[in-house]
């Protein structure tokens, strides 16, 4: 049995893409226990029994979603964006269950690594008859992500809710490359950065100047505001790009 199979013997990791398991194993130098610890660090909030089994109110099963008033949250975002054809929600977690709060008629694709969440979201979309689907994918496979973006209706808006830190923890400066590449296939990107811990007990003093400077240099900052423990930054292409 290879290390990927060994790691995936734990139910919470069984539906993660092999590429993610392999990356964790490389970072942990082939140690199964350390590999699983890394995966829990990056995906643990989505791999609890309550979330994976889809029990109860799915948006309340995860703290970052629980803290959002989605009607106000999306109202603040889309009041600044204008017409939207499709939303591509990268690293969506349980966010697909907020589809009903999106502007009417929007097509939605949620991209998530945890296969159990993808299955629950697709069941929900089908039951409700929504123009939406979820895909199990690894965000580090940029080419495949760009193909997903190309398939969506224009104007396309990409969500990157609390994803930047996770990408950076796995590969330094990858988030910059990632944002530059996906920006070629969409009209707007909405990033969110945590300003406090999930439980709300700890405020983060760090301003993430490195990512803000990068965004200001390469994009038009259309809105920058804070709400419920998150900093939301909406970016579009600069007029001369």
How do residues 10-42 score in pLDDT, each as one tens digit?
877 888 888 888 888 888 888 888 988 888 777
Residue 53 counted as domain residue: no
Regarding whether 94 and 16 lie in a shared domain, the answer is no
Residue 241 counted as domain residue: no
Q: Tens-digit pLDDT profile for the chain (241 aa)?
A: 588 899 888 877 888 888 888 888 888 888 888 988 888 777 655 555 555 555 544 565 544 555 678 889 999 999 988 889 999 999 998 889 999 999 999 999 999 988 888 998 999 999 999 999 999 999 999 999 999 999 999 999 999 998 888 888 788 889 999 999 999 999 999 999 988 654 445 554 456 788 999 999 999 999 999 887 889 999 999 887 5
Number of other CB atoms surrounding residue 87 within 10 Å: 27
Q: What is the pTM of this model?
A: 0.86
Regarding whether 129 and 40 lie in a shared domain, the answer is no
Regarding whether 116 and 32 lie in a shared domain, the answer is no
Helix or strand holding residue 157 (H, E): strand 156-161
The pLDDT of residue 67 is 66
Domain count, the chain: 2
Regarding whether 102 and 151 lie in a shared domain, the answer is yes
Rg (CA), the chain: 17
Residue 219 counted as domain residue: yes
Residue 133 counted as domain residue: yes
Regarding whether 64 and 40 lie in a shared domain, the answer is no
Regarding whether 101 and 15 lie in a shared domain, the answer is no
Contact 114, 47 (CB under 8 A): yes
The pLDDT of residue 82 is 84
Chain CA centroid to CA 64, Å: 11
Regarding whether 67 and 33 lie in a shared domain, the answer is no
Regarding whether 191 and 98 lie in a shared domain, the answer is yes
Residue 164 counted as domain residue: yes
The pLDDT of residue 16 is 85
Residue 67 counted as domain residue: yes
Cα distance between residue 195 and residue 205, in whole Å: 8
Regarding whether 195 and 157 lie in a shared domain, the answer is yes
Regarding whether 105 and 17 lie in a shared domain, the answer is no
Residue 21 counted as domain residue: yes
Provide the domain limits for residue 30: 3-47
Chain CA centroid to CA 185, Å: 17
User: In CATH, what number is assigned to the domain containing residue 189?
Assistant: 3.40.50.150
Regarding whether 82 and 200 lie in a shared domain, the answer is yes
Regarding whether 170 and 143 lie in a shared domain, the answer is yes
The pLDDT of residue 199 is 47
Residue 52 counted as domain residue: no
Residue 60 exposure: Cα atoms within 13 Å on the Cβ side: 3
């Amino acid at each position: 049995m290879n290390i990927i199979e060994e790691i995936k013997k734990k139910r919470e990791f069984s539906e993660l893409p092999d590429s993610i398991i392999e990356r964790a194993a490389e970072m942990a130098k082939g140690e199964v226990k350390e590999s699983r610890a890394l995966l829990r660090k990056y995906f643990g909030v989505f791999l609890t029994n309550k979330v994976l089994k889809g029990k109860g109110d799915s948006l309340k099963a995860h703290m970052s979603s629980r803290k959002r008033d989605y009607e106000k949250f999306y109202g603040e975002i889309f009041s600044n964006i204008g017409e939207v054809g499709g939303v591509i929600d990268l690293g969506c977690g349980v966010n697909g269950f907020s589809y009903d709060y999106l502007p009417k008629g929007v097509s939605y694709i949620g991209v998530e690594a945890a296969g159990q969440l993808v299955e629950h979201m697709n069941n929900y979309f089908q039951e409700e008859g929504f123009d939406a689907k979820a895909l199990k994918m690894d965000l580090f496979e940029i080419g495949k992500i760009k193909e997903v973006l190309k398939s969506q209706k224009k104007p396309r808006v990409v969500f990157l809710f609390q994803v930047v830190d996770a990408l950076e923890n796995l590969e330094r400066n990858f988030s910059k490359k990632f944002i530059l590449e996906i920006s070629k296939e969409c009209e707007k990107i909405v990033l969110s950065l945590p300003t406090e811990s999930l439980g709300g007990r700890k405020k983060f003093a760090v301003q993430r100047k490195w990512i803000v400077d990068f965004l200001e240099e390469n994009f038009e900052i259309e809105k920058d505001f804070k709400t419920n423990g998150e900093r939301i930054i909406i970016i579009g292409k600069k007029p001369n790009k």
